[in-house]
């Protein structure tokens, strides 16, 4: 043989290639995945309880379909290199693909949920759950219904999810896009600048007013007097009393859309009171949600302080964990010839930030497998009997494992059970098998009892059902 040795691996061309995930992404090991799956299962249970059906859409869409839907956020879309076919881009959110699905299939109504990864070319902050690849959990209601009934249920869904996850210190900020437009109009902002000004206002949850003020004047070109008028409104927040206060505003009274928005917000508070979540609402005029497709009520669930006793998490975990709103015109942009619009409202749960909170709370490594019984042997030459018992357990739909060694040491097998927190072990030996019995061991208490081999499945099933 000439050249490289037979067992030498081929050269990669770069032996010093760093082993790391791409910027803004992370690996999830078995412990993290177990915790993550528990979170997702809790979210899905709430969605399904409210009658939503599952939906999945492609991870990429036609680039032209995503263009013009996100305003200034469009710069964060990941475009894919064209390979001789149609131009594509990774999905930025799950809302636009859902609207495309409704239009494509000519649906007039649908209540759906979707759990899937989305991609944003953003500046990542992993410690705060801000990544470039991340999960969104969306709940949406499409269809023509009476005012604020679907919207109030979306707020209820958000509150139920956060209660299920034991998130205690949160509020749901609410506002209305038509009210925002009316405010900007009375302040003297040109109509063609409403969206870009809203994008700046939406940064008030992260930046002080002075920074936003500077952006509006120096970058957006607004007059100082106009910005001062905007400040008088967007710094207001409160409850139903603020709705009434704005209803008495003489400038706003002149605009029909302002009156319509305030009437809808008043109705939203009423319905949320019946759902027993009105105490979570905060009417906040700085909430703008920069995406262009919102047309009505918008909302955002925000953590307002430490959610546990760990002081080190107090600053890290204050921020948005869910957001959404009404987008009545988005479906129509995909099917402009359709006579009847399909109004929509929905909410997206920020799983990554919630996952960071759950990780910080967890005091011990979560169990990573669903194995219920471990089949262990005492002597050599019993691996065939182990396989026979394993097959009977599997046939009874009982999660079971054994060693992949023919003659493993008993201590190693029992230590495996304790390490992976497998609740029960079936221990077989020559003497017991000769009498037609096996030992059933409670791994946690280390108590053992003899069980007739023919009664093993019944006994194990009873123990798993009723506990030790």
Please say if the pLDDT value at position 302 is more than 80.
yes
Question: Has 289 been labeled as part of a binding site?
Answer: yes
Strands (E), 4-92: 53-54, 60-62, 88-90
Question: Has 35 been labeled as part of a binding site?
Answer: no
Produce one character per residue of 315-324: b if its CB has 16 or more CB atoms within 10 Å, e if not. ebbbbbbbbb
**Average pLDDT of the residues in 244-266:** 93
End-to-end CA distance of the chain: give it in Å, rounded. 64
What pLDDT is attached to residue 67? 82
What pLDDT is attached to residue 312? 37
CA separation (Å) from 178 to 259, 273, 278? 9, 23, 21
Higher pLDDT, 437 or 69: 437
Domains along the chain with CATH numbers: 30-361 (3.30.930.10), 373-466 (3.40.50.800)
Question: Has 210 been labeled as part of a binding site?
Answer: no
- φ/ψ of 241, rounded to 5, equals -65, -30
SS3 for 384-424 is: HHHHHHHHHHHHCCCCEEECCCCCCCHHHHHHHHHHCCCCE
Q: Spell out the alpha helix ranges (H) of 189-309.
A: 194-201, 209-214, 224-234, 240-247, 250-253, 256-274
Please say if the pLDDT value at position 71 is more than 90.
no
Q: pLDDT band for position 306 (50/70/90)?
A: low
Closest CA to 187 of 213, 215, 225: 225
Question: Has 294 been labeled as part of a binding site?
Answer: yes
Furthest-apart CA atoms within the chain: distance in Å:
95
| Structure tokens belonging to residue 419 | 């390490």
What pLDDT is attached to residue 85? 80
Please say if the pLDDT value at position 311 is more than 70.
no
What pLDDT is attached to residue 147? 96
pLDDT in tens, 325-367: 999 999 999 987 777 889 999 999 988 888 888 888 877 778 8
**Rounded CA separation 31/72 (Å):** 38
Q: 203 in helix, strand or coil?
A: helix
Please say if the pLDDT value at position 12 is more than 80.
no
What pLDDT is attached to residue 5? 46
Please say if the pLDDT value at position 238 is more than 80.
yes
Q: pLDDT band for position 380 (50/70/90)?
A: very high
What pLDDT is attached to residue 13? 56
What pLDDT is attached to residue 290? 67
Question: Has 293 been labeled as part of a binding site?
Answer: yes
Please say if the pLDDT value at position 8 is more than 70.
no
What pLDDT is attached to residue 465? 85
Question: Has 370 been labeled as part of a binding site?
Answer: no
What pLDDT is attached to residue 93? 93
Q: Which residues contact 128 (CB under 8 A, 6 or more apart)?
A: 316, 317, 319, 353, 356
**Rounded CA separation 278/281 (Å):** 5
Please say if the pLDDT value at position 95 is more than 60.
yes
pLDDT in tens, 425-466: 999 999 999 999 999 999 999 999 999 999 999 999 999 987
Q: Spell out the alpha helix ranges (H) of 53-176.
A: 63-66, 95-104, 149-164
Question: Has 25 been labeled as part of a binding site?
Answer: no
Q: 37 in helix, strand or coil?
A: helix
What count of Cα atoms within 13 Å lies in the side-chain half-sphere of residue 467? 0
pLDDT in tens, 124-133: 888 777 789 9
**Average pLDDT of the residues in 114-131:** 86
**Rounded CA separation 44/38 (Å):** 10
Q: Which residues make beta-bridge pairs with 141?
A: 111, 345
């Amino acid at each position: 043989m000439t050249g490289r040795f037979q067992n030498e691996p081929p050269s990669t061309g770069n032996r010093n290639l760093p082993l790391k995930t791409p910027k803004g992404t992370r690996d999830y090991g078995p412990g993290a995945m177990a915790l993550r799956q528990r979170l997702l299962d809790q979210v899905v249970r709430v969605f399904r309880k409210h009658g939503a059906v599952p939906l999945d859409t492609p991870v990429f869409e036609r680039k032209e379909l995503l263009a013009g839907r996100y305003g200034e956020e469009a710069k964060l879309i990941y475009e894919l290199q064209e390979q001789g076919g149609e131009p594509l881009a990774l999905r930025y959110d799950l809302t636009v693909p859902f609207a495309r699905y409704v239009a494509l299939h000519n649906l007039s109504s649908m209540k759906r949920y979707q759990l899937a990864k989305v991609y944003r070319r953003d500046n990542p902050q992993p410690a705060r759950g801000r990544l470039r690849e991340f999960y969104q959990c969306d709940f949406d209601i499409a269809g023509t219904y009476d005012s604020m009934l679907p919207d109030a249920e979306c707020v209820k869904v958000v509150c139920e999810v956060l209660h299920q996850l034991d998130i205690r210190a949160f509020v749901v900020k609410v506002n209305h896009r038509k009210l925002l437009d009316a405010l900007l109009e009375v302040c003297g902002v040109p109509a063609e600048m409403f969206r870009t000004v809203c994008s700046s206002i939406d940064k008030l949850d992260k930046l002080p007013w002075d920074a936003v003020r500077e952006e509006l004047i120096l970058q957006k070109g607004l007059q100082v007097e106009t910005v001062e008028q905007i400040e008088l409104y967007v710094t207001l927040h409160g409850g139903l009393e603020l709705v009434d206060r704005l209803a008495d505003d003489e400038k706003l009274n002149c605009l029909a859309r302002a009156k319509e928005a305030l009437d809808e917000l008043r109705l939203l508070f009423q319905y949320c009171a019946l759902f027993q979540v009105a105490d979570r609402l905060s009417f906040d005029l700085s909430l703008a949600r920069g995406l262009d497709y919102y047309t009505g009520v918008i909302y955002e669930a925000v953590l307002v302080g430490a959610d546990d006793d760990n002081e080190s998490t107090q600053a890290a975990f204050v921020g948005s964990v869910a957001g959404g709103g009404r987008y009545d015109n988005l479906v129509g942009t995909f099917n402009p010839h359709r006579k009847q619009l399909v109004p929509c409202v929905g909410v997206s749960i920020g799983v990554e930030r919630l996952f960071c909170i759950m990780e910080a709370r967890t005091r011990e490594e979560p169990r990573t497998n669903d194995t219920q019984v471990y089949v262990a042997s005492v002597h050599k030459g019993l691996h065939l009997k182990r396989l026979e018992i394993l097959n009977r357990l599997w046939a009874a739909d009982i999660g079971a494992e054994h060693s992949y060694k023919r003659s493993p040491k008993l201590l190693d097998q029992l230590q495996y059970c304790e390490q992976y927190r497998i609740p029960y072990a079936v221990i077989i030996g020559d003497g017991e098998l000769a009498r037609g019995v096996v030992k059933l061991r409670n791994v946690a208490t280390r108590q053992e009892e003899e069980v007739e081999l023919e009664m093993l499945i019944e006994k194990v099933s009873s123990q798993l059902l009723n506990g030790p």
